[in-house]
């Protein structure tokens, strides 16, 4: 039993992203796919100055709508499909395309 | 004259379109051999058998290749016993009106296989089979039918999950090879032929 178990068992249920992470708790344990770790560095809130700096660095106009894909640059993520969707949307909305992400080495963080 | 053109009879009991959502609960049992799979199949809850058979069919109904239940898939991919996997895959949940009967059929297949191939039962799988259970939550939708016109309209608006709830899962609730739609059409809308056709459809999806 880990030190956090008594605290976790005060809740109605626990959720896990894999059966391998599950523990034999006295409360129901559920699987949720896909999942996002709210405590991960990449999911933290950004402060205004950081947002402004990144937009300025990449020439992003914050007054216009953005079509974006945030993912690793991988064929499986269908970036071409995103570009095609952007081209469709652009006919109706004066928007800009932002492809944000990393390479293959990002893979372990996605899982 | 189509059903939509027929004069509507006001139903005594309206048809409430519901839907169901499922929480995937992690079970206690897990198997690393086929012998352990058999033990788990005998011991696990009905919600667990439901998850690995009916729910798999719902989640992967669009996949044309592979197996229709998780047991067959695991035996094939992690255990490399194609003969047993094919036998398990032949279990068509649409033939059953109770989870107990599905369990009995699957247990019988695995048990028979192990009697014929006793050595196969103890070999370790590439990865374990985790028994999970489905916790079903039934939810109302805004759609209610008081006559067959409203029924047809509602049917066109509800999600595929609602259709699965009334059309596939209903047989477990009713213990009949029928569905909620057929029963209502027959008893409340006086559309016996439509009800009969739908019941046949339930068995030939």
Most confident region among A98-107, B31-40, B68-77, B86-95 by mean pLDDT: B31-40
Q: Which pLDDT band holds residue B132 (cuts at 50, 70, 90)?
A: very high
The domains of chain A are located at: 1-44, 61-104
Q: Does the complex come out with an ipTM higher than 0.95?
A: no
Q: Do A32 and B24 touch (CB under 8 A)?
A: yes
For A32-46, the pLDDT digits (tens) are: 877 777 788 878 889
A-chain CB neighbours of B55 within 8 Å are none
Share of chain B above pLDDT 70, in %: 90
Burial of B79 from C-beta contacts in 10 A (0-12 / 13-18 / 19+): buried
Using the Cα atoms of residue B187, residue B191, residue B194 and residue B196 in order, give the sign of their dihedral: positive
Cβ of A29 and B26 within 8 Å?
yes
Confidence (pLDDT) at A77: 86
- DSSP 3-state of B142: strand
- What does the pLDDT read at residue B177? 76
Cα separation, B188 vs B170, in Å, equals 17
Tokens of A102: 């990393």
Across the interface, whether the CB atoms of A24 and B25 are under 8 A apart is answered no
Residue B204 has pLDDT above 60, yes or no: no
From residue A94, alpha-carbon distances to A57, A61, A62, A87 in Å are 21, 11, 12, 11
The B residues from 68 to 127 touching A (CB cutoff 8 Å) are none
pLDDT value for A30: 95
Q: Place B190 in a pLDDT band, splitting at 50, 70 and 90.
A: confident
Mean pLDDT of A10-31: 91
pTM, to two decimals: 0.70
The span from the CA of B53 to the CA of B50, in Å, is 5
């Amino acid at each position: 039993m880990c030190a956090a178990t008594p605290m976790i068992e005060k809740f109605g249920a626990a959720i896990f992203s894999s059966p391998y992470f599950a523990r034999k708790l006295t409360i129901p344990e559920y699987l949720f796919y896909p999942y996002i770790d709210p405590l991960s560095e990449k999911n933290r809130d950004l402060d205004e100055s950081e947002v402004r700096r990144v937009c300025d660095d990449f020439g992003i106009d914050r007054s216009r709508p953005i079509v974006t894909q945030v993912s690793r640059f991988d064929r499986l993520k269908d970036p071409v499909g995103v570009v095609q969707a952007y081209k469709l949307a652009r006919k109706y909305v004066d928007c800009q395309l932002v492809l944000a992400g990393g390479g293959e080495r990002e893979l372990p963080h996605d899982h | 004259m189509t059903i939509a053109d027929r004069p509507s009879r006001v139903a005594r009991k309206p048809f409430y379109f519901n839907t169901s959502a499922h929480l995937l609960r992690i079970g206690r049992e897990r198997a690393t051999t086929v012998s352990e799979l058999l033990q788990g199949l005998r011991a696990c809850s009905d919600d667990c058998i439901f998850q690995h058979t009916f729910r798999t069919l719902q989640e992967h109904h669009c996949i044309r290749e592979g197996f229709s239940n998780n047991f067959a898939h695991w035996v094939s991919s992690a255990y490399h016993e194609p003969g047993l996997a094919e036998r398990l895959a032949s279990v068509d949940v649409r033939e059953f009106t109770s989870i107990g009967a599905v369990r009995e059929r699957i247990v019988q297949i695995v048990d028979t296989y192990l009697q014929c191939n006793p050595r196969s039962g103890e070999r370790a799988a590439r990865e374990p089979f985790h028994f999970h259970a489905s916790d079903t939550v039934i939810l109302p939708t805004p759609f209610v039918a008081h006559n067959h016109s409203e029924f047809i309209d509602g049917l066109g608006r509800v999600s595929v999950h609602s259709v699965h709830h009334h059309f596939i899962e209903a047989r477990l609730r009713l213990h009949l090879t029928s569905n909620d739609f057929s029963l209502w059409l027959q008893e409340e809308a006086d559309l016996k032929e439509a009800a009969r056709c739908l019941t046949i459809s339930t068995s030939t999806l």
